Amino acid sequence: MPAPENRFKAALSRGETQYGCWAGFADPYPTEMLATAGFDWLVIDGEHAPNDLRTIMAQLQVLEGHHSAPVVRLPMGEAWMIKQVLDIGAQTLLIPMVESAEQAQQISRAMCYPPRGIRGSGAALARASRFSEIPDYIGTANDQMCLLVQVETQAGIDALDDILAVEGVDGVFIGPSDLAADMGHAGDSNAPEVRRVIKDALSRIAASSKAAGILALDHDTAQIYRDWGAQFLAVGIDVVLLAQAARGLMARWRSDD
């Protein structure tokens, strides 16, 4: 028996648009609820949400059997962090702040067993191999790994063509907030200069053999990003959805007082 098929990676390679949502509560209960909405992918965010290895694992567990594919975002692309989340069963990783082809290569190598990479061979006791129930796990896991790198600084944009040439990179996600901040427009990813860079980056990625990704919290911007080439498109953040709905509800009742 081989490693489980990574359906998200397969959908990207078929060119299918994948709609996603951020799961930022760092808890399996709301993440399981989000999956019932039918999103194609959900980001289990270890960069800006208070997740640890066990909360990430619990969310991977509740997503099993759902259509929504888990995408685990790590705080950074360190080999030891990558090894740990792959061993608990993550297959798709989103890695922030990638600024060079060398960095992308190192991350890709950390996700693969030798000779392709440097991933440590401890799967016998790991959830990823279903605790050794998958005898061919080590021989087949590399092909199911999906690496999405985040390009979100001017340095990353400058290195984009080199990053796109790296084998093992499946997709490049443009981080609009960080990119805007790095370009001197903190908090304003709609600044014309930032939009120009995002448009150019998304179309260059879409024209390559890799998938282009991005996040937009309003419908119009998400549609524009999709027109510019975004294939894996995050269209919401669960924490923001709840906060907006709760505040709107209360404001409505206050205004009726």
Ligand X SMILES: O=C(O)C(=O)C[C@H](O)[C@@H](O)CO
CB of 152 to ligand X, least distance (A): 5
- Binding of ligand X by 48 (CB under 6 A): yes
CB 197 within 8 A of CB 178: no
- Binding of ligand X by 20 (CB under 6 A): no
- Binding of ligand X by 178 (CB under 6 A): yes
Stretch that binds ligand X, among 163-171, 173-181, 203-211, 220-228 (CB under 6 A): 173-181
Task: Give which of 3, 45, 50, 49 is closest to 20, Cα–Cα.
Answer: 45
**Tally of residues, the chain:** 257
Toward ligand X, which CB reaches closer, 119 or 226?
226
Q: How many CB atoms lie within 10 A of CB 164?
A: 20
Instruction: Calculate the alpha carbon distances from 247 to 37, 101, 176, 239 in Å.
Output: 22, 43, 25, 12
Q: Which two tokens stand for residue 190?
A: 């709609």
CA separation for the pair 8, 20 (Å, rounded)? 11
CB of 215 to ligand X, least distance (A): 5
- Binding of ligand X by 153 (CB under 6 A): no
Toward ligand X, which CB reaches closer, 129 or 153?
153
Is there a cis peptide before residue 4, judged by omega within 30 degrees of 0? no
* 48 in catalytic set: yes
CB of 90 to ligand X, least distance (A): 18
- Binding of ligand X by 154 (CB under 6 A): no
Phi and psi based region of residue 106 (left: phi greater than 0; alpha: psi -120 to 50; beta: remaining) = alpha
CA separation for the pair 228, 218 (Å, rounded)? 16
- Binding of ligand X by 51 (CB under 6 A): no
Stretch that binds ligand X, among 128-136, 153-161, 164-172, 176-184 (CB under 6 A): 176-184
Looking at 48, 66, 67, 219, which residue is catalytic? Answer: 48
- Binding of ligand X by 150 (CB under 6 A): yes
- Binding of ligand X by 215 (CB under 6 A): yes
Stretch that binds ligand X, among 4-12, 78-86, 107-115, 169-177 (CB under 6 A): 169-177
199-230 burial by CB neighbour count: b if 16+ within 10 A, else e? bebbebbbebebbbbbbbbeeebbebbbebbb
Closest chain position to ligand X (CB): 175
Among 175, 213, 229, 236, the residue binding ligand X under the rule CB under 6 A is 175
Toward ligand X, which CB reaches closer, 59 or 129?
59
Among 32, 40, 99, 152, the residue binding ligand X under the rule CB under 6 A is 152
CB 25 within 8 A of CB 41: no
What is the binding site for ligand X (CB under 6 A)? Answer: 48, 150, 152, 175-178, 215, 237
Catalytically active residues, by annotation: 48
